[in-house]
Amino acid sequence: MTDSAPAAAPPPAAHRPATAVILAAGLGTRMKSDWPKVMHPLAGRPMLRYLIDNAAQVFDRIVVVIGPGMEQVAALAAPHATVIQHDRLGTAHAALQAADLFGTGDVAVLYGDNPLITADSMRRLLACRRQDGAGLALMALRPAYPGRYGRVVTDDGTDGGLVQRIVEWADASDAERAVTLCNAGVLCAGAETFRGWLRAVRNDNAKGEYYLGDVVAMAVADGRQVRAVMAPEDELRGINSRAELALAEASVQRRLRHAAMAAGVTLVAPDTVFLAADTVLEPDVVVQPHVVFGPGVTVRRGVEIRAFSHLEGCVVEPDAVIGPYARLRPGAEIGTGAHVGNFVEIKAASLGAGAKANHLTYLGDAAIGAGTNVGAGTVTCNYDGVFKHRTTIGAGCFIGSDAILVAPVTIGDGALIAAGSVITQDVPADAMGIGRARQANKEGRAATLRAALDKKKKEQG
């Protein structure tokens, strides 16, 4: 008897495409701003980017609905498709503008001013639609203060029950207002079904607008299962005003701080440290209180950032010490083991390994070599009123206090610049540069001058 051939493996399930439609046409009137609402930043990044970046981890296609004249938003959304809602007639009308790009799979409608939904929550929304058999899945929350949120009414009063209806706060009874399960407005359904529901939405309401929330009642009326997917309040926080923007900023900062500490960074007083969305802090970095990171900062292992420092657009190499009260501006490159002290500002300049600039100094458009010591009050005069010029300082130099280096100028390796000098010409390696007037002492002149001034003061009464 021969062995039978192994059974053939079942064919892999066909991939079902998914499309995210992000509504971003709102003007944000309550923001009192000339900017489109979704361009306002959180941790230095426009809020729309958060939603796009997270959605890109989950969905095959992203379509952003924008308003007319929103070229900035279209550029921010690139390379994803954009469609224009020429007339702002409500959220269902906005979603309908993208209907031709829904494709054949599942479609989720998200809001650009609700930017903090994580990729994990988006995946759970899709899973509810695909695995739990929901004809329509929606995102819901239980906020600490439900306020004027629309209420989600389920058949058994639980989060896992079938959704029967969404009741807007203004239309809710006292019993319905007591419900704490609230609607976030995010919906997911099959593309063809979703298109049909959107086309059927009517605008017979006080504002004459087409509301996306009406799709829920349509799904229930069609006998479809409607289920809620829970997400934390911090993720589902909408942003319609400057106050709400500040609340969202606080939420983002909490996430960033926790992520940094989980990665091995010490934040001595976390609530006083402000990070940008792209801040890179390697393990064993120590950040003291009241430090602000702008966009584009990378800090390597073992660095200490002391209190009240501000960093943006810079790289700090291992074991350097920054601050307190230091400012690193775009283009600053701080070498391994270098020190940047109090009230030192560095812009478009590199400070070599082990170099020090510890007090009251401005270094702009400059390159400072390894092991060089820059004394208090040193200034690289890099701007002539029209053009910027560079200062180059070699390795192992000593720049005395209150030196003024007028660029373009080069200081050779090992050179010494005398305190109080104004340097306008290159200084060779191992030379001493002195650029100050010769001192002259006038014997007895101080006493004579004081007597003359005292006499004049008495005469003036």
pLDDT tens, position by position, 401-419: 999 999 999 999 999 999 9
Tens digits of residue pLDDT in 109-162: 999 999 999 999 999 999 999 887 889 999 999 999 888 888 999 988 888 889
**What kind and span of H or E run contains 216?**
helix 214-221
Q: Using an 8 Å Cβ cutoff, are 316 and 304 in contact?
A: no
User: Strand pairing of 41-42 and 45-46?
Assistant: antiparallel
Q: Using an 8 Å Cβ cutoff, are 417 and 373 in contact?
A: no
Tens digits of residue pLDDT in 358-404: 999 999 999 999 999 999 999 999 999 999 999 999 999 999 999 99
Q: Using an 8 Å Cβ cutoff, are 285 and 305 in contact?
A: yes
Q: Using an 8 Å Cβ cutoff, are 21 and 108 in contact?
A: yes
Question: What's the CA gap between 100 and 107, in Å, rounded?
Answer: 12
Q: Residue 378 is encoded by which pair of tokens?
A: 């040193």
Under the banding of pLDDT at 50, 70 and 90, the label for residue 205 is: confident
DSSP 269: S
Q: Which of 15, 310, 359, 389 is catalytic?
A: 359
Q: What percent of the chain clears pLDDT 70, i.e. is strictly above it?
A: 97
Q: What percent of the chain clears pLDDT 90, i.e. is strictly above it?
A: 83
Phi and psi dihedrals of 83, rounded to 5? Answer: -130, 155
Q: Quick one: which of 288, 341, 282, 291 has its CA closest to 315?
A: 282
- CATH architecture label of 242-433: 3 Solenoid (2.160)
Q: Which residues contact 117 (CB under 8 A, 6 or more apart)?
A: 51, 54, 110, 139, 186, 231, 235, 236
As a whole number, mean pLDDT of residues 221-238 equals: 93
Check residue 168 and give its pLDDT.
84
Check residue 219 and give its pLDDT.
95
The domain over range 18-230 is classified in CATH as 3.90.550.10:
yes
As a whole number, mean pLDDT of residues 306-335 equals: 98
Under the banding of pLDDT at 50, 70 and 90, the label for residue 207 is: confident
Residue 429 has pLDDT above 70, yes or no: yes
Under the banding of pLDDT at 50, 70 and 90, the label for residue 6 is: very low
Check residue 4 and give its pLDDT.
41
**CB burial string 53-62: b at 16+ within 10 A, e below:** ebbeebbebb
Check residue 14 and give its pLDDT.
57
Check residue 10 and give its pLDDT.
44
The domain locations on the chain are 18-230, 242-433
Burial of 265 (0-12, 13-18, 19+ CB in 10 A): buried
Instruction: Return the bridge partners of 72, or none.
Output: none
Under the banding of pLDDT at 50, 70 and 90, the label for residue 425 is: very high
Q: Residue 284 is encoded by which pair of tokens?
A: 């064993």
As a whole number, mean pLDDT of residues 70-85 equals: 96
Check residue 206 and give its pLDDT.
77
Amino acid at 384: D
Check residue 345 and give its pLDDT.
98
Q: Which region among 178-182, 308-312, 332-336 has the lowest average model confidence (pLDDT)? A: 178-182
Question: What's the CA gap between 364 and 383, in Å, rounded?
Answer: 9
In 10 A of CB 215, how many CB atoms? 26
Asked if 359 is an active-site residue, the reply is: yes
Tens digits of residue pLDDT in 263-315: 999 999 999 999 999 999 999 999 999 999 999 999 999 999 999 999 999 99
Q: Using an 8 Å Cβ cutoff, are 45 and 295 in contact?
A: yes
**What kind and span of H or E run contains 256?**
helix 242-262
Q: Using an 8 Å Cβ cutoff, are 372 and 393 in contact?
A: yes
Residue 373 assigned to a binding site? yes
**CB burial string 128-139: b at 16+ within 10 A, e below:** bbbeeebbbbbb
Which has more confidence, 176 or 292? 292
Question: What's the CA gap between 461 and 457, in Å, rounded?
Answer: 7
Tens digits of residue pLDDT in 257-270: 999 999 999 999 99
Tens digits of residue pLDDT in 44-58: 999 999 999 999 999
User: What's the pTM?
Assistant: 0.87
Q: Residue 301 is encoded by which pair of tokens?
A: 């292992």
